[in-house]
Amino acid sequence: MLIDHFDITKKVFIIAEMSANHGHDINIAKETIKAAKEAGADAIKLQTYTAETITIDCNNEYFQVKQGTIWDGRTLYDLYKEAYTPWEWHEELMDYAKELGLICFSSPFDKTAVDLLETLNVPAYKIASFEITDLPLIEYVASKKKPIIISTGIATLGEIDDAVKACRKAGNEQIILLKCTSAYPAKIEDANLRTMQNLKATFDVEVGLSDHTLGATVSVVSVALGAKVIEKHFILDKSIGGPDASFSLDKQEFKLLVDSVRDAEKALGKIDYEMTEKKEKSREFSRSLFVVKEIKEGETFNKENVRSIRPGYGLAPKYSNNIYGSIASQDISRGTPLEWNHIK
């Protein structure tokens, strides 16, 4: 699968999620994009909504955050008014990212956001975890025939199935499901990364991780379990503050994550039993059969005069039982690697 010429089947696609980490200053947003590029991200992701398109200005009990989160005590409207990325910034930010060679796309939260993003020719779309139940939105996004990345954090297996079917109903098979723990920050023990493998097997799609834990450990482990996409919140400087600052990585932390993921990819490598020149050389330190006591011609080989020891210049140890009891064809000095011509 390609995202703007990036083949995610060959290399993990690492997304720096800017979200609200711009302090409503476009210069900070642009510096964040630049820092993400320098930290090794493959893409920067925005969020496209306004307070009005995602909720209403109402402070009754239904609209107050009270779930033991870092945002408790606020109304949804107030939170999203602070967190949103101004729509008039999108084109400038995307152009800037393109200049730097960084892929830029977004999470739309309603159809008007999709329409805006289509005018900007985004190369992919992301469906946020809390929007996975909005099947009309998913179907509309999927109809644009671009890769669609879906976080599964709050969804039941049935709801994930509904979302995948909505994409396929729209004729879009470019589906990537992200394992996600919808807690901010999330605990490592709640990551349950093996779910990724089940998602891949169940829905026959590429999989990845939207990681809200602190640090890089969970992201790196996900690579070994088949993650092809990793998304992590990114901030230029945590002193900027904002709704997502506490669980976002700064440039140094994000670079460590990227470097660790790339090392994990190298370590996974490929299935390889090839006997390279280096392996052949290393075999010199393996065990083989050596004469360990002086042997005269006609003498019998036994466990006292022939042993399996290092280095590996003699016959393989697997032949020892064939050799014990055989007769020496010549005198053999101690420390000689045993060869077939030594045996009568």
pLDDT tens, 212-226? Answer: 999 999 999 999 999
Task: Find the range with the poorest average confidence among 62-71, 115-124, 137-146, 191-200.
Answer: 62-71
- pLDDT, tens digit, for every residue of 164-180? 999 999 999 999 999 99
Domain count, the chain: 2
Name the DSSP class of 150: E
pLDDT digits (tens, 9 = 90+) for 230-260: 999 999 999 988 888 889 999 999 999 999 9
- pLDDT surpassing 90 at residue 5: no
Cα separation, 165 vs 344, in Å, equals: 74
- Three-state DSSP class for 332? strand
Pair (302, 184) in one structural domain? no
Per the domain annotation, does 100 fall within a domain? Answer: yes
If asked whether residues 198 and 105 sit together in one domain, one would say yes
pLDDT of residue 69: 74
For all residues of the chain together, what is the average pLDDT? 96
pTM, entire model? 0.89
Percent of the chain's residues with pLDDT above 90: 92
Tell me the per-residue pLDDT of 66-114, one tens digit each, with 9 for 90 and over: 877 777 889 999 999 999 999 999 999 999 999 999 999 999 999 999 9
Torsion, Cα of 163, 168, 173, 177 (10° steps): 10
Assign 44 a pLDDT band (cuts: 50, 70, 90): very high
Across the range 53-59, mean pLDDT stands at 96
Question: Under a CB-based contact definition with an 8 Å cutoff, are residues 144 and 125 in contact?
Answer: yes
> Is residue 209 located within the same domain as residue 282?
no
Residue 310 and residue 187 share a domain: no
- Judgement on whether residues 186 and 241 belong to the same structural domain of the protein: yes
| pLDDT > 70 in the chain, percent | 100
Please answer whether residues 317 and 288 qualify as being in contact, where contact means their C-beta atoms are separated by less than 8 angstroms.
Answer: yes
78 belongs to a structural domain: no
What is the three-class DSSP state of 140? helix
Residue 285 lies in a domain: yes
